[in-house]
Amino acid sequence: MMSAAAGGTRPTGTCRVCEGTVVEFLDLGRQPLSDRFLSEPDLAGEFFFHLSVGVCEACTMVQLMEEVPREKMFHEDYPYYSSGSSVMQKHFAHTARRFLETELTGPDPFMVEIGSNDGVLLRTIHEAGVRHLGFEPSGKVADVARAGGLRVRGDFFEESTAVEVRAAEGPADVIYAANTICHIPYLKSVFQGVDALLAPDGVFVFEDPYLGDILEKTSFDQIYDEHFFFFTARSVQAMAGRFGFELVDVERLPVHGGEVRYTIARAGARRPAGSVARLIAEEEDRRVASPERLGRFAADVNGIRDDLLALLRRLKAEGKRVVAYGATAKSATVTNFCGIGPELVSWVCDTTPTKQGRLTPGAHIPVRPAEAFSASAADYALLFAWNHADEIMAKEQEFRRAGGRWILYVPRVHVES
């Protein structure tokens, strides 16, 4: 469908939450699976889809226009291991301890995590002797958690699987998800599952990249196949209400470039904290989901592409050695949207063994181990893992001392001096 609603004729779709009309505001073109790292024989059959993002005129939910089948993204070889960052390990240990001190103090409490990955959060719950269950459909990451003694079910969380767990194990006091709810287009089924599994006074808590921060930082690389939704307090409040729940607390988090943790309870079960109304008022002031603001974001994204390409081409012409740091899922959007391949960035280093020796999705930049970086004597390093900048720059101080310079493209293209 096409619409003339938001200035000019734009493609439209149907909102996955409220069935209102979604109007596209940014087209990022033909994109690969962001976490599919390739060997030479895989190149011929590489999967591509059309990555574009729109806003629902009715409920303001920002979402992708096209859905990638979940089994193509989350499978046996899904390569993202949450424990790869020490900052994130601390974040999740702290989060788990807070749940242990607040929501999990009754007799025989039960915590369920959606997208438990390698067990980075549940391990603290397990060590405290609290009953837990992870839902993790990606095979190898789930096996890491199981090897650590955690209980993990290898299924997607949705209504049918949640109903089974409720019948077998009773109600959950906490259902938690980090960087996972925004990955799930079928949220109605997820809320039906939460309804089936959550105790009457339990909480459903999830944290995901915050649209307010994405706009502020022009971090368009948060948009890729796995990130289907871009939440605000307002859109989450509307969604919760629609499914019989209520948004009762929000907390801004510094991780992954800026996130919000949303706490949801059954409608009327808990009194909403003042933080909810405050954040919604701030979003209104900033006109976060307005067509004008989103249109400005789209224009800024095109500006970043032009500036980044111009910089990399100039450095190449000057004969500089340019590499990249962190083969992130986010970098698939940057490289494929901007047209950056190995001719501009020779290789990218990453600590994840299953990414090493492979080629990045779509752009086919070789991935090398982190040790290659210290040995490289590169002149410039494009920091794809900019959300881990403090951690990475702290351990790579030698690069700077030897004259190396970091290139960042968030919130604008610049070379760190």
Out of 52, 180, 222, 235, the residue judged to bind ligand SAM by CB under 6 A: 180
Taking contact as CB under 6 A, which single stretch among the options 14-22, 93-101, 315-323, 327-335 is the one that binds ligand TMP?
327-335
State how far the Cα of 220 lies from the Cα of 26, in Å rounded to an integer: 10
385 scored as a contact of ligand TMP (CB under 6 A): yes
Least distance between Zn ion and beta carbon 152 (Å): 33
- Omega cis (within 30) before 137: no
Residue 59 makes contact with Zn ion by CB under 5 A: yes
Residue 393 interacts with ligand TMP (CB under 6 A)?
A: no
Binding of ligand TMP by 58 (CB under 6 A):
no
Which range in 198-206, 275-283, 332-340, 388-396 contacts ligand TMP by CB under 6 A? Answer: 388-396
Is residue 177 within the footprint of Zn ion (CB under 5 A)? Answer: no
Task: Please pick, from the candidates 3, 11, 20, 42, the single residue that binds Zn ion as defined by CB under 5 A.
Answer: 20
Residue 370 binding result from ligand SAM, Zn ion, ligand TMP, none, given CB thresholds of 5 to 8 Å by partner type: ligand TMP
Distance CA 87, CA 394 (A): 12
Among the candidate windows 61-69, 100-108, 191-199, 325-333, which touches ligand TMP by CB under 6 A?
Answer: 325-333
**In the beta sheet, which residues pair with residue 152?**
134
| Contact of residue 74 among ligand TMP, ligand SAM, Zn ion, none (CB under 5-8 Å per partner type) | ligand SAM
Closest Cα partner for 23 from 6, 37, 39? 6
C-alpha 280 chain-centroid distance: 22
Residue 200: Cβ-neighbour burial (10 angstroms; 0-12, 13-18, 19+) = exposed
Report, in Å, the least distance between residue 22 CB and Zn ion.
7
Q: Is 85 a binder of ligand TMP (CB under 6 A)? A: yes
* 351 touching ligand TMP, by CB under 6 A: yes
Q: Which of residues 127-146 bind ligand SAM (CB under 6 A)?
A: 135-138, 141
**Closer to ligand SAM by Cβ: residue 59 or 182:** 182
Using CB under 6 A as the binding rule, whether residue 117 contacts ligand TMP is answered as no
Within 52-111, the residues that bind ligand SAM by CB under 6 A are 74, 78, 80, 82
* Stretch of 61-69, 143-151, 338-346, 385-393 contacting ligand TMP, by CB under 6 A: 385-393
- Compute CA 349 distance to the chain's CA centroid, rounded to the nearest angstrom: 20
Kindly tell me which of 20 and 171 has the beta carbon lying closer to Zn ion. 20
Which does residue 157 touch among ligand SAM, Zn ion, ligand TMP, none (CB within 5 to 8 A, set by kind)?
A: ligand SAM
Cβ atoms within 10 Å, residue 376: 17
177 has which bridge partners?
Answer: 206
Q: Which stretch binds ligand TMP (CB under 6 A): 46-54, 344-352, 358-366, 397-405?
A: 344-352
Distance between CA atoms of residues 224 and 191, nearest Å: 23
Q: Which of 352, 363, 381, 399 binds ligand TMP (CB under 6 A)?
A: 352
Interface residues with ligand TMP (CB under 6 A) are 84-85, 326-329, 350-352, 370, 385, 387-388, 391-392
Return residues touching Zn ion (CB under 5 A).
Answer: 15, 17-18, 20, 56, 58-59, 61
